Chain A
Amino acid sequence: MKVTRRDLLVWSAGATAGLLFTPVPWKLLDDVSIWSQNWPWIPQPTRGPVDVKLSFCTLCPNGCGMRVRMAGGWPVGVAGAGCHPVSRGALCPLGFAAHQLNWHPRRLSRVCYRGNTSSWGEARVAFTKACGEGPIMIIDGHPGRAASSAFETFVQRRGSYRVVPGQETRALAPYGTWSGIPAAALGYDLENAGTIVSFGAPLLDGWGTPGRLTRLWAERAAGLADPQLHLIQVEPSFSRTAARAWQYVTIRAGGEGAVAEGVARVLLEEHLVPARGPMPSLTLVEVAEQAGVSTDAIRDLARTIVARPPVVAVADDNNPAIAALNVVLGAVGARGGIVRRSKHIRQDVCAEAAIRGMRAVLIDSTVPWDFVPQTDAEVFRFAAWDGGSTKADWLLPAPGFLEDLTDVPTAPTSGMETYAVAPSLAEAPTEVQSAAQFLSSIDPTLVTVDKVIHTRCSEIFRQRMGTLWGQDVTPVAKFVSVQKLEEELWKGAVWIGEPHHAGGLRCQLNDWPEAIGPARTSNASPPWLVPVLPSLASKLYQESGLRESPEGRSA
């Protein structure tokens, strides 16, 4: 049989038509589509046994409780831990992506000396030499930790120890000055307040322990026509807190102290409070001019805030006029006001920006990146992430999020004393060291962080006071051994001390203090303490326009 050209064409057409009725071309199309979308360089999540561990966020001193989901030995997810008595299961937005920070492009991975790669050995030699040549200073951002004890021990014979307090701690400084009690031992008893008057403090936007006030506000104020908690925001800009406040009072920038004086004058003149004290120096007309509000509005504000006691005024920063208003309101040392949470905290000296007479300055990684000392001394700065344009001579890579063992002392604004341990959950790169490890390598006799933690656990056990909040709530007195107590703390439990000592704090006003303008003029962005945000946060805030990102800020 002769095969013609026509037969060949017919056969080809038939084969093509027949092929279309088979799954082959469609399967091929599907495979090509999947293959072209699944390139081998697309990362796949690590597989491994999934486990959940309790720990604490160490990005700021508030130490919110976290449930960390682990897979294959690495943190893969973070959520709030509901068993934490202060943060109560809430985290700030950064906390949810904090485990990704360790891979941030600006993560420090090598020792730098004036912009050039160096080594830990050279840094050690330089610091040892500096210690031998003159006094040194160690600056700490989260005082009260076990590492802080190591810092203090190291500088005992070599120089001085200084702290950089956060804005919330600075806001409590006037009470410390007037009462002689360290500001670090004071806190707010917000849970029992009836009215909170915030003078520019971003109460619903990351102030203090972020979950504490948002939970409280959600339970007692949000969406209620007659809330149990009146949140009044006095502020120049329409912030997130102002948007959700029960009442918003708009003022001129820098007029917070003047408004506090005006309110205090009305309270004293109209005998709305039992307190007697010096009358503020500003008249209501002067207050109205400075703050950009009418005298009637100030009178209304004064009458409104005393309608639902107890009342407490919260300042954004150190502002003695607002602290004096609290004295007039009787909120100092009273339920629902400013309370003394601990008897044992000693006074730390704050670091000044200008440092003189030092041979070297060591800055711990907990110090906010914005703190830049003006000094001729050799600066050794520890940091996990490079916040940009540092003036430090030595830039030393520190452990990142959950990469180092640390303990978590009481949060700055908390009304109750707490203690917790945040163990290392992620493997740190080999080239990073904490400041405490660095100092231990120079002075091997220096006490280590784990030994200080053990000593503190022993002290809690010895005093047999307070309760441990973990999976269960257990009084410390019920623990039979310090090992058992320590074991629970290492597993993520929180120790809470005895109730606050409201009666142990007294402030007497002899003269009305001078008002100070706020350090931060706008609270459009919350005071993030980390120099960089998780890349995910940068992306989401940029795409949603919800917040301004601090990326690119310089120090």
Chain B
Amino acid sequence: MSARYGMVIDLDRCTGCGACMMACAAENNVPPVPRATPRTGLTPMLVRKVSNGGEGVDRREVFIPIMCMHCERETPCVGVCPQQAVEVDKATGIVMQMPQRCLGCRYCMTACPYHARYFNWWDPQWPAGMEKALNPGVAVRMRGVVEKCNLCHARLHSATQKAAATGKREINPADYVPACVEACPTAAIRFGNLADKHDPLSLEVRSPDTFRFLTRLGTEPKVYYKSKEAWVRALAESNSGSGVETKRG
């Protein structure tokens, strides 16, 4: 049975601690490039701070973790890639990026409406000896390729191997949890299989408080957001920029 892995990020629970960013980068062997700037850095998971523009007691803030939305229909990055380095995995619904095929043209970065793709400008380097502290499950990507969130695909691979070792075809859902979901101290990021009607996530995405960004583009992203605050839900169709206080903006 095919899966459709997705997420619901409850913005009312996000405290903006950044644990998801840190866990994501550590899990995926993102190098700490000191030369990188907010525009050239590599942050597959990026938490943005957005305010409602009010002052004093009227001020409201929300922290929005932004990552690849894993668009399901007319996936913009897939269509523009001349190398077939991006594809939607039919078995999981994950938008996969294959760095070995990528030639670094960055069309996909231009096409992505969520700005969730990053170009690897430099050779990945760590202090001498630190390769011993890298995650052996994730290959280090080379300079000159585009990177993005792949829902910790290495963990899915491990879960599949574990299931296969016991003669099963289906993985145990508890064995496949992306690093950001595992790290979130308030359980604001929830993960599951949208194709499974018994999965709590399938019910949660139908909640009236749940929304997705830029749905008018018709790309059917599988990352949902949730908030009870109307001004936060109104951000869903904004083009970006308004009120965003991060440096990347």
Contact with A along B119-136 (1 / 0, CB 8 A): 000011111111111111
Supposing A96-B22, A103-B126 touch, asked if A536 and B41 sit within 8 A by C-beta, the answer is no
Is B202 part of the contact surface with A, judged by Cβ < 8 Å? Answer: no
Within 8 Å by CB of B10, from A222, A241, A547, lies: A222
Contact with A along B141-157 (1 / 0, CB 8 A): 01111000000000000
Is A238 part of the contact surface with B, judged by Cβ < 8 Å? Answer: yes
Contact A539 B41 (CB under 8 A): yes
Contact A104 B127 (CB under 8 A): yes
Contact A223 B136 (CB under 8 A): no
* Complexed CA–CA distance, A214 and B60 (Å): 19
Is A97 part of the contact surface with B, judged by Cβ < 8 Å? Answer: yes
Supposing A46-B132, A77-B27, A544-B47 touch, asked if A539 and B18 sit within 8 A by C-beta, the answer is no
* Complexed CA–CA distance, A362 and B49 (Å): 43
Tell me whether chain B's interface is mostly helix, strand or loop, or mixed.
Answer: loop
* Complexed CA–CA distance, A105 and B130 (Å): 11
Is A12 part of the contact surface with B, judged by Cβ < 8 Å? Answer: no
Is A250 part of the contact surface with B, judged by Cβ < 8 Å? Answer: yes
**Nearest CB of chain A from residue B240's CB, rounded to whole Å:** 15
Contact B34 A100 (CB under 8 A): no
**Nearest CB of chain A from residue B185's CB, rounded to whole Å:** 4
Residues of B within 8 Å of A204, CB to CB, are 15, 17
* Complexed CA–CA distance, A184 and B33 (Å): 41
CB-nearest residue of chain B to A206: B17
Chain B, interface size category, equals 35 or more
Within 8 Å by CB of B136, from A34, A76, A92, A248, lies: A76
Residues of B within 8 Å of A33, CB to CB, are 103
Q: Which of A67-75, A143-151, A480-488 contacts B (4 or more CB under 8 A)?
A: A67-75
Residues of B within 8 Å of A214, CB to CB, are 15, 17, 185-186
**Nearest CB of chain A from residue B60's CB, rounded to whole Å:** 8
**Nearest CB of chain B from residue A211's CB, rounded to whole Å:** 5
Within 8 Å by CB of A538, from B10, B32, B130, lies: B32
Residues of A within 8 Å of B22, CB to CB, are 93-94, 96-97, 534, 536-537, 540
Is A16 part of the contact surface with B, judged by Cβ < 8 Å? Answer: no
Residues of B within 8 Å of A50, CB to CB, are 136-137
Contact with B along A22-52 (1 / 0, CB 8 A): 0000000000011001110111111110100
Chain A, interface size category, equals 35 or more
Residues of A within 8 Å of B129, CB to CB, are 103
CB-nearest residue of chain B to A36: B144
* Complexed CA–CA distance, A536 and B25 (Å): 7
Within 8 Å by CB of A536, from B13, B30, B100, lies: B30
* Complexed CA–CA distance, A539 and B245 (Å): 17
Within 8 Å by CB of A223, from B12, B21, B57, B245, lies: B12
**Nearest CB of chain B from residue A225's CB, rounded to whole Å:** 7
Is A545 part of the contact surface with B, judged by Cβ < 8 Å? Answer: yes
* B interface residues, Cβ below 8 angstroms from A: 10, 12-13, 15-19, 21-23, 25-27, 29-30, 32-34, 36-38, 41, 43, 46-49, 56-57, 59-63, 100, 103, 123-140, 142-145, 179, 182-183, 185-188, 227-228, 245-248
27 contacts between A and B (CB under 8 A): A39-B123, A41-B123, A44-B131, A80-B182, A90-B19, A90-B185, A96-B26, A99-B26, A99-B133, A102-B133, A103-B129, A103-B130, A105-B127, A222-B13, A225-B228, A240-B17, A243-B60, A244-B15, A535-B32, A537-B22, A543-B36, A543-B46, A544-B38, A544-B47, A544-B247, A545-B248, A546-B21
User: Knowing that A102-B133, A543-B41 are A-B contacts, what are 12 other residue pairs whose CB atoms are under 8 Å apart, sorted by A's residue number?
Assistant: A42-B125, A45-B139, A74-B132, A77-B26, A79-B182, A92-B19, A204-B17, A218-B186, A218-B188, A248-B57, A544-B48, A547-B18
